[in-house]
Every structure is written in C-alpha cells, then in structure tokens.
Structure 1
Amino acid sequence: MELRRVADVDFAGLTRRAFHPSPAAWEDEVLYFLMVDRFSDGRETGCRDNAGRLVDRGGTPLISAGDHGNAVRTEEEATLWRAAGADWVGGNLAGLRSKLGYLRRLGITAVWVSPVLKQVAGRPSYHGYGIQNFLAVDPHFGTAEELRDLVAEAHATGIRVVLDVVLNHAGDVFAYEPDRQPPWMGSAYDVRGFRDAHGQPTLQFGDVPEAWPDGAVWPAELQRLGTFTGKGRIVHWDRYPEYLEGDFVGLKDITLGSGPADAYRPSPALVALTRAYQFWIAFADLDGFRVDTVKHLDPGAARYFASAIHEFAQSIGKERFYLIAEITGDRAFAYRTLDEVGMDAALGIADVQDRLESTAKGLREPREYFDLFRNSLQVGRESHTWFRDKVVTGYDDHDQVRKGDNKARFAADELGDRLTLVALALNATTLGIPCVYYGGEQHFDGRGGDDRYIREAMFGGRFGPFRSRGAHAFDEEHPTYRELARILDVRRRTPALRRGRQYLRPVSVDGVRFELPTARGLLPWSRIFADHEVLVAVNTDPDRAHTAWVTVDDGLHATGDELTCVYSTEKDREGTRVRVERRNGKSVELTVPPAGAVIYESAFLGRMLPVRSEI
C-alpha cells in the first residue's frame, strides 16, 4: 500500500462494507496494553497457539527460574543486554496475532496496541511515538495488511483492538539550525531542513516530493510551511503555553490550529492528521484510539479531533468508537479536560495509579484509593457511577512518569512480587475499565530505573524479562495468570462487577466496633447493581490470613440471608456460604487467605436499593 497524500485515500471504496460493531458498554471490557516491539515475534515454543494446541517444535523456549539473570552474568553481557533495551528487539504484528489465544484465555477482551505507524529512519523509536509517515505501518512491525489481518482475527477471537495514536507531534523529522535540541523560549528557531533517509537535515524545509519514502514527513500535506511550531523542547512541563507549543525533546510539535475551544480554527495539519486516522479506522476496522499526550493539545484541537473521529466512526456503524485520552495530572484536572475535549475516558492519571499500587501493597489507607471515585459532583457529575466507563485504571505502564528516576514495576520488590494478584484483583473488580500492562500476569519486575527496563521483551530475544535472553514468558500455567483468568471470568459473568456502584465497607474483628479498613490486612468493598450485591475482599498481608466482620447493605439483606463464595484463591472455599447477621446494620464474617482474594455474591432478592448519588 502506497499513499503519499491524504487526498489520495479512496474513502468511498474503504467504507463500502460492514464493520465490526462497538460494544454495548466499554466498562464491560478488560484492556491489555502491550508494546508491539516488546510482545511477541511469533517464534516461541512451549506455549499454546490460538486454538490452545501446544507449540512444541523449534523456536524460543519457555523461561524457567534458571534463566533469570542469564543475560547479566558478566559486565560485558550486562552492557549488551542494557543496550539492547534501548533499540528495536523484534516484536511484530504477526507475533501479536499468534498470541490472541493467550490473551483471550486470560480474559482479555480489548487489546491496546502501541503506535505502529512508520517511524523516522535510523532512530531507535521502537516505542512507535516518533512517526514519520502517518499513512504507513513501520516495516519493523509488519505491513498495513498485517494490521488489518490482526484486527480481523482479534474480532473473530472476541477481542477488540484499540490503537495508540499520536496527534501532538511527529518524529524527529527536521533539524534546527544548528542541528541541536534548543529549549523552548517562546519564539520559533531557524530550521536547517527536513531529514533525509539517512537522518541528515539535507532536504529543504517545505514541499519535498523527492523525499519519498524515508525522508521528511508524510502525508505530503504535512510538508507545508507552518506545520510545525518550531519552538524547541519543553523544559517546564506544566508552564503555559510551553507545554502546548514545545517539542518532546526531539519529537517535533505540530501546529494544530488556534482560537478558543468553542470557535477553534483547525490547521491544515490537524485536518490532514484527522483524515489519516479516519483512514486507519476504515482500513483496519479498529474499535478505538488511545490518544497520546492530550494534556499537550489545544483543547479546541482535541475537541475537533474527537468530534470528527466519533462522527466518522458512527457513519460506518461504530456507534461507540472509544477515545481514551492520556491526560497526566490530578483527577480534577483530568476530568475537566476530558469534558472539555469530548473524549470518552481518561488514562494516565497519576493519583489513580499511585494509590492503587500503594493500596495493594498495604502502604496507605484504602479509602485514599476509593475516595478517588467519591464526590463526583466535584467533577460535574451527579453519580460516582460516572467513573465506571470514564476511567481506565491500572498501576504499571510503559512510562511511569509519576516515579521519576525510580521506575520499576509493581513486582520489583519482594512485597510487590507476593501481592501481585492482590493488585490485579483490585484493578479488575473496582470501578473503571481495568487495564493489564503486558507481563504483569507473569510478575515482570522492570528493575533498573529507566524506561527501557519496564519495557521487557516478553518473547525473550536479546532483552528478555528478569535480565534474561533467549526465553519467552507466555506461561499459561503461571499461578497468577491462572488466578487472574478465574477472576476475570467471574467479572465477565457478573454485571455488578462491571457496572455496579461501589462502596468501601467497614470491618470489625469483634463484630461490635466497625471502622473503615486500615492499610495492612482485610480490605473489602461492594459492587451493587439493581438488587444484586457482590462483595469482594483482598488481603494485603502476604504472611497470614485475616478474618473480620464486613458490613453489607442493610436494605438488600435480611438477617439469615446468605452470600455464596464464587471465587477464592483457596479454591476449596468456592461454593461455601456466609450468613448475614445483624451487626452494624447487616454484616457477614469473611476470611481471606494471605495475599489472597475472595468474591461473594447475594441472590437476586427483589429488595431494591435506592440509587444514591454519593457513597
């Protein structure tokens, strides 16, 4: 496929077919975020294919404990392993396609795929955020046809595909005069020229048709003068207007338009980029976008993009094409921005990630996490249930901006390694659209402090997990993979765990004095949907079981009613029942294993609980 201009796209031909429909409710979905270069190259053995058959010939073997550290036994080996993590390592779309069964058996229903569009030649931008051609797939990842085939098979498997897209900037497609990365000072710098296929700024800064395919920037509409702000790199990430106009180091900021949000005038570049992404929706039959760096977009630009994308998707039958906005900052800022720009959900809210991690590790009071979903009037909504499809929740990711120079995954320390299932259970069964970061189900640790170390290659290669090489980690017998699959199966079958209101529950050891749970120990909450209460509890103590009386809804239960255990990390408890007693209104006595989780549910009793706007 060769497209040089957006104007060359045959939209009439592309849209003359049936498209995969949107889900009824995105809060029903479970996301899995992966970086294509770091996920799979399709050469693994000792794992299962999409049909569940064992792959037992040739290729990369399954990792064992003895492989941990095999890439860093000497300083020379360690240097090579670290260097490999800063470059392309070989994951591709075909490899991802070969692991759809692994994801589906885990319980994943939507995969969030890192950007796959063509990167600037000669740059190690394996992450995908340094785009040179917005109308082509990077050869490192595969072809446009392989992207389309991946999405088609994912849909047949029961998995939707959300593509990570970049609107704020292009890759390092031109050089300033001289060739450096000057700081933002409020005015434009002189430009030496577009970079050629060898990365050198030898091309004129303007229309350069001779630069095809590896030089300058494409589609050709982006070569016009005025496409880029040209004001240098951001130094102060929260100072206005620097954070809107500056480059992300070498990634070049695009001028998207001007004016207030209600009367925004989109630039030709924004119109072209929006049309390019509409092309990918139609060509590949995508289900949603995760929109990068929304904080750094003019609100009017983000609103224009959201409106145009939603309308185009609806015109081809995708009524709920989902736009997930990456908005760094606190909750109030994120949701105000979300409302202003018209996108569907917010991602990358540092306080959600930080509090979820600390709560799961028993390092802070649980109410600090649960209070993020309270008092929704502060963000202009009448019910905290608004959060159920407006927040994508998680704890690990590929950036971990919140951790500064101390980046590492949840399982990097002993406590995190022992409590990983608690974190995954907390994420899967509380309000929001849960998102698993690849490798979390295999306890990847990401030690090292830098971005590269939290981006291990799941398929092994030169930069495998746990400081290894040559061994993959698609282990469906891993205890955490298996337990998470069981939890997600309960979530799939239980509307209250996907759509219900949420209540942090008081606890009591003696059945008399009740208070909200403290940092370490038994942590319970309820999800209520119509007259159905589901009670979930985790134990943030990795060393001993905890037993306590847990408050349940007084209006939904009568003394003597029973709740049935539908999940426990101690499987023989499943099917057992606990009896409702008159304590603190109504309560049941629960025991949760060390670093474990339990889920109990009530019968449908027909006792309707009034819908309340606050917890």
Structure 2
Amino acid sequence: MRKLYIIVALSAASLAFSQKALEKVEPAFWWKGMNNPELQILVYGKDIVKNEIELSDGIQVKKIQKVENPNYVFITINTSEINVPKFRIHVKNGKKNIDSYTYELKQREPNSINRNSFTSADVMYLIMPDRFANGNPSNDNTKDTAEKSDRKNHGGRHGGDIEGIIKNLDYLKELGVTTIWNTPLLEDNEPSYSYHGYAQSDYYKIDPRYGTNEDYRRMADELHKRDMKLIMDYVTNHWGSQSWIIKDLPAKDWIHYWKEGEKGFKRSNYRMTTQFDTNAAKIDTENCMDGWFDTTMPDMNQSNPLVVNYMVQNAIWWIEYAGLDGLRVDTYSYNDKKGIAEWTKRITDEYPNLNIVGEVWMHDQAQISYWQKDSKISAIENYNSYLPSVMDFTLHDAIGQVFREDSGWDSGMQRVYDNFANDFLYPDVDNLLVFAENHDTQRFNQSYPKIEDYKLAMSLILTVRGIPQLYYGSEIGMSGDKGKGDGDIRRDFPGGWKEDSNNAFTQSGRTDSQNQYFDFTKKLLNWRKSKEVIHTGKTLHYVPENNVYVYFRYNDKERVMVVINNNTNAQTLNLKRFSEGLENFTRGKDIISGKEFSLQNSLNVPAKTSLIIEL
C-alpha cells in the first residue's frame, strides 16, 4: 500500500512518472471560466516529439507546436469547450499508450476576476524571507537543494521561511502594515548566494527551504483573515542558471545567447535609457535589453511568443492558486519592452483591478514616467507599457541626501520639493510606490543613525501621494552598510531565531530604543489607515525656507498640514504665508504628539521635528 500511495502522489504532482515518456506537465492544472479560455500546456519528456499526443473524452487539441528540442511539445486547448472537470493527456506510440497524465480544470473562487489589489490606502512592508524569521528549522536544508544554511555567512542561507512570516503576522498587523511584499519565494537552486531568490530554478515551485506551495497559499489565507494583502515578487527579465528549462532549452532563442560570450553570457550595460533614447546606437540598446543581468541569470527572450506565454500563464496560475493581491516586477525596464507590455496587458485583462508595480530604477522623473500605463511621454512613440504602478526612485534619491544637508537653491528640503514639482509627468501620481530604502539600497538607519531623521523621513513617506513601502526592521531601528555587501543590509530580524537574545517582535523583548522606533511607526501607520485625504487627496506645497518644507493634503472633507523642519534649529513660521492651505482653519492637532495648536499668527517648530496637523 505504501508503494502504491507514493506512485499515485507523484503522478498527481506531475513531478515524475514510472515511465519516462512524460516527465513534466506545466501548468499542472488550470481553471474553468478564465477570461481567456485558451490554454497552452507544456509537455516534456525524452524525445517526446517522436510520439503522438492525444486527449481523452473527445477533447480537441487546437494546436500542437514543436520546437528545436525534441523533448518538448506545446499543446493548445480551448477550456471553454471542455465540459469535464478532468481529462487525460495520453502519450502514444502508434496505438500503444505509453504514458498518461490526468489534467484537472478546477473551479475558480467566486468573483476571482474582480479581486481587490493594493492601492494608496495601503502600507507595504518589504520582507527578505530568509532573514525575517525561522518558523520551521527542519526545512533549513533539504536533499533537493544545493546551498545549506549557515547564519555566519552574510551571503548565505540563514533559514527564514514562510512559517516564520505567518507566526509574526500579528506583529505586522499591530504595526499597521496592510500589505506584504516578499522577495522571491520560488525555488532558487544556485549553489551559493541563493537566498535572495532572483535566480529562480522552478517557476511552479516554492523553494523547499521556505516551505511548500500549500504553505504559500496558507500565508495568503492568513493575511486575508487579517484584512491584509500579499504581493508576489515576479521576475520576468531573467531566470536562474539551474532552471530545469534553462538546462534543456526548448530552443536556443528561449534566451538571449551571445556567440562571443562564454556559455552565451554577456553582461548587460544596464543603460535603460537606450529603451527610448531616439539617438541611441542599436548595439547599446541590444546590450541593455539582451545582456544578462548576471552570470547566473540568463536573459529571457520576450520576443519569443512561447516565452511570453509561459510567463503570462505562470503569473496567472499563482494569482489564482494562492489568491494573490498584486505583483511587483523585478527589473521591469530591462525586458523587451514589447514583450513585457504584452505580459502586463494580458494579466490585467484577466484581472482588471490587479495592481502591478514595476522596478524602474532610474533617476529622472520623465524616464520613470515613461513606463507607467498611459504615459504621455511613451505615447510620443506610440508605446504603452500597461504597467499601473512604478517606483519613485527620484524621491528615494532625494531622501538619501536631504536630511544631512543645509538649505540651498537645490539642496536640503528643496530636493523633495523639486521631486514633487515634476508630478505632472505621471499619469497616476497616487499609484507611485514611495520609499526611503529597499533590499538593494543602503539602509536608511545606517545613513541617518538618529531617530529624529527617521521620524522626518517616515512623516514624509507616509503623508505624501502614492503607496508607502517600508523595509523590514527599519521600524525597530535596524541598520546595515551596503559597503560591506548586500548581506549587511539584509540582516536577520532580531527574535526570528530561537537562539536570539533580543526578540524585537514583542514589546517586552525590544530595547528602549527599538520601542521608540516601533511606537512612532505604529502610531503613524495606524492613523494613516482611515485617512482618505492622505490616500487620494490633492497636494498643495510651498517652496522650502530655512530647510522647512510645508505641504497640505486636502479634499472636500478634510485638510492635513505637514511641516518638516530639517533645520538643526527651531523655526518660527509666519502663518500668513500659508493662508491658501489653511483656508479658514484657525486650530489644529498634531497627530504625533497630540498637542493642539493655534494657527492664526505663527507656529514654532522645534529643530529636526515634523508636525502632522489635522486642521
């Protein structure tokens, strides 16, 4: 009985069969009632092309596509024409059936197509799962994955996992987080430096050191029980060198293969401006778009329709399977721009309310805005990315300098003002991701070790237009020096491992300093939750004077005055200058201190202090 059970379990998982004719079927199952009923199924096995593919129950194959590699066949079916919940895919040699696979068309969750997504009403919390919390030490090492756990190695696996995140969801709920973005959780089987997850080796499998596919879906369910959301970090530009598909490519043009490079490798020049620069040399454009991000990350060829279709279906599969609430797309602007636009449009056609934020790491608002859906700038060349949201890297750049600078024509708080002065370039300013740091940048608390600067930055990030994103651990004062390597800006969250002496997940376990950071962040995040005026209100801002930046968020119902004094001395503001923003309001209450202010004549603001005043 035990042997029989194991054989059945493997067949159901589509991992392997006792007969070797059929080794992989992807996606392993699908759903009825999708907006696009056409489904392309990858069927893989040794020399499978020499055999015939036949479906049971009289189901018609709409198209069979063969490629260079005889181990692959792509079959296309119309799911709207199939009236049975399960059917068989037969591999036949003449009349002899040599292997079969039971394919299931599941029922979708009610109203799946209209699922809600993250918006400017949310606060996003970025987690590096390997470094957050180890909830299940038994999966730190597995027989099927190469790299083993070693907390002493800054660039190695430390053992954090999905169970560790689930166990600490109440901590995040208390903090005021509404949405979680994890760096990739899919299998990354590189022999070293695999913890970041961006060199994925199996796009349909959670890395076993994090847990299982079922664990991932359970995490989404636990978040939804708490009225929280889950975003998947999706990588379209490159796959990992250990991917089973990369190791046995369907065709050479599945990736960008450089003849002059070793094993097809040529590093990208990273010059993303060549995607739209009308003066760019073709070779420079090609080197950016087709060059590899790194030696272990083969660059995918999105001009190949099979590649795009695989990625579209895979993303939809995860959204449907796990109940995802959105996607974050890594290195968005390195992709073939036509291919990535098709990928984005097809997913948002399937889920009209789904938000997708793309990493467009550029340093000019016009260049970033090119990539947002319905951009007036990209429309010049008749291009639309269909990408709903982009990341406000220019605001991040300003924050990296502003709190250590004196007032000047283009320094100090003027940098922040100038950033928002370019908002006219974006088609949807409320759908920009705003942040002080992330998993690739210097830790904010390393650049600014004083809590006063942290409070100024969070007051800004959490009251301006857009979707605020926090980086794990900053809310307890965690720091890290990128100059010492990425591992240092991705330190373990204290208390995430049983042997940790400091447990920052609990008030009693936090130090006094950690509690000061946490309490401030908690107050601001939870206040923000119900503030529509912050989520979607308009902005009125004033040119900074003496390193003091004043702006108002307002709608027809409410006004909030934000004052950020970045000066090392107290400043007294003449409130007559702000009469347009104050309208007829004469009093207000600071939501941070609880102090009430008269707003008729002047306002004294202590050094390095922010005020968020409800009028």
Quote how far apart the aligned CAs of 1:332 are.
1.1
Q: Distance in 2 between matches of 1:540 and 1:287?
A: 37
Larger Rg: 1 or 2?
A: 2
Structure 1 residue identity aligned to 2:127:
L
**Residue matched to 2:381:** none
Contact in 1 for aligned 2:443/2:479 (Cα 8 Å): yes
Quote how far apart the aligned CAs of 1:376 are.
3.9
Paired positions, count: 470
What's the secondary structure of 1:493's corresponding residue?
Answer: coil
TM-score (norm 1): 0.71
TM-score (norm 2): 0.71
Quote how far apart the aligned CAs of 1:372 are.
1.9
Contact in 2 for aligned 1:539/1:595 (Cα 8 Å): yes
Structure 1 range deviating more: 337-346 or 432-441: 337-346
Greater relative contact order (Cα < 8 A, sep 6+): 1
What's the secondary structure of 1:565's corresponding residue?
Answer: strand
Contact in 2 for aligned 1:29/1:109 (Cα 8 Å): yes
What's the secondary structure of 1:252's corresponding residue?
Answer: coil
Q: Distance in 1 between matches of 2:247 and 2:422?
A: 46
After superposition, give the CA deviation of every residue in 1:416-440 in whole Å (9 maximum; x if it has no partner). 5441121111111112111001111
Quote how far apart the aligned CAs of 1:409 are.
1.3
Q: Which of 439, 449, 455 matches 1:398?
A: 439
Q: Distance in 1 between matches of 2:413 and 2:465?
A: 14
Change (3 A) 1:387 1:555: closer
Q: Which of 562, 567, 584 matches 2:591?
A: 567
Q: Which of 223, 237, 255 matches 1:228?
A: 255
**Residue matched to 1:244:** 289
Q: Where in structure 1 are there 5+ consecutive unaligned residues?
A: 45-79, 174-214, 259-265, 314-318, 401-407, 507-515, 582-588, 603-615
Q: Does 2:615 match 1:596?
A: no
Structure 1 range deviating more: 425-434 or 481-490: 481-490
**Residue matched to 1:365:** 412
Quote how far apart the aligned CAs of 1:35 are.
0.8
**Residue matched to 1:297:** 335
Structure 2 residue identity aligned to 1:346:
V
Change (3 A) 1:241 1:475: farther
Structure 2 residue identity aligned to 1:341:
S
Structure 1 residue identity aligned to 2:604:
T
**Residue matched to 2:135:** 42
After superposition, give the CA deviation of every residue in 1:49-102 in whole Å (9 maximum; x if it has no partner). xxxxxxxxxxxxxxxxxxxxxxxxxxxxxxx99951100101101110111111
Q: Does 2:124 match 1:31?
A: yes
Change (3 A) 1:42 1:25: closer
Contact in 1 for aligned 2:289/2:335 (Cα 8 Å): yes
Quote how far apart the aligned CAs of 1:446 are.
0.4
**Residue matched to 1:206:** none
After superposition, give the CA deviation of every residue in 1:455-493 in whole Å (9 maximum; x if it has no partner). 11114679x9xxx96544325461121111111222222
Contact in 2 for aligned 1:365/1:517 (Cα 8 Å): no
Contact in 2 for aligned 1:501/1:529 (Cα 8 Å): yes
Q: Does 2:185 match 1:172?
A: no
Q: Does 2:176 match 1:107?
A: yes
Structure 1 residue identity aligned to 2:474:
G
Structure 1 range deviating more: 356-365 or 159-168: 356-365
Contact in 2 for aligned 1:490/1:566 (Cα 8 Å): no
Quote how far apart the aligned CAs of 1:244 are.
0.8
Q: Which of 456, 473, 481 matches 2:504?
A: 473
Q: Which of 434, 437, 450 matches 2:468?
A: 434
Structure 2 residue identity aligned to 1:425:
S
Contact in 1 for aligned 2:132/2:496 (Cα 8 Å): no
Q: Which of 352, 370, 373 matches 2:395?
A: 352
Structure 1 range deviating more: 431-440 or 338-347: 338-347
**Residue matched to 1:196:** none
What's the secondary structure of 1:353's corresponding residue?
Answer: helix
Q: Distance in 1 between matches of 2:174 and 2:467?
A: 19
**Residue matched to 1:579:** 599
Contact in 1 for aligned 2:268/2:289 (Cα 8 Å): no
Change (3 A) 1:104 1:218: farther
What's the secondary structure of 2:120's corresponding residue?
Answer: helix
What's the secondary structure of 1:161's corresponding residue?
Answer: strand
Change (3 A) 1:271 1:456: same
What's the secondary structure of 1:333's corresponding residue?
Answer: helix
Structure 2 residue identity aligned to 1:32:
Y
Quote how far apart the aligned CAs of 1:229 are.
1.1
Structure 2 residue identity aligned to 1:131:
Q
Q: Distance in 1 between matches of 2:403 and 2:461?
A: 9
Q: Distance in 2 between matches of 1:162 and 1:40?
A: 18
What's the secondary structure of 2:253's corresponding residue?
Answer: coil
**Residue matched to 1:86:** 155
Structure 2 residue identity aligned to 1:504:
H
**Residue matched to 1:487:** 524
What's the secondary structure of 1:27's corresponding residue?
Answer: coil
What's the secondary structure of 2:156's corresponding residue?
Answer: coil
What's the secondary structure of 1:136's corresponding residue?
Answer: strand
Q: Which of 304, 307, 310 matches 1:272?
A: 310
Q: Which of 9, 29, 50 matches 1:9?
A: 29
Q: Distance in 2 between matches of 1:154 and 1:311?
A: 25
Q: Does 2:518 match 1:518?
A: no
**Residue matched to 1:546:** 571
Change (3 A) 1:23 1:154: same
**Residue matched to 2:454:** 420
After superposition, give the CA deviation of every residue in 1:122-151 in whole Å (9 maximum; x if it has no partner). 333101101111011000111000000000
Q: Distance in 1 between matches of 2:285 and 2:558?
A: 48
Contact in 2 for aligned 1:216/1:223 (Cα 8 Å): no
Q: Distance in 2 between matches of 1:580 and 1:461?
A: 50
**Residue matched to 1:387:** 429
Quote how far apart the aligned CAs of 1:109 are.
0.8
Change (3 A) 1:548 1:128: same
Structure 2 residue identity aligned to 1:423:
A
Structure 2 residue identity aligned to 1:431:
R
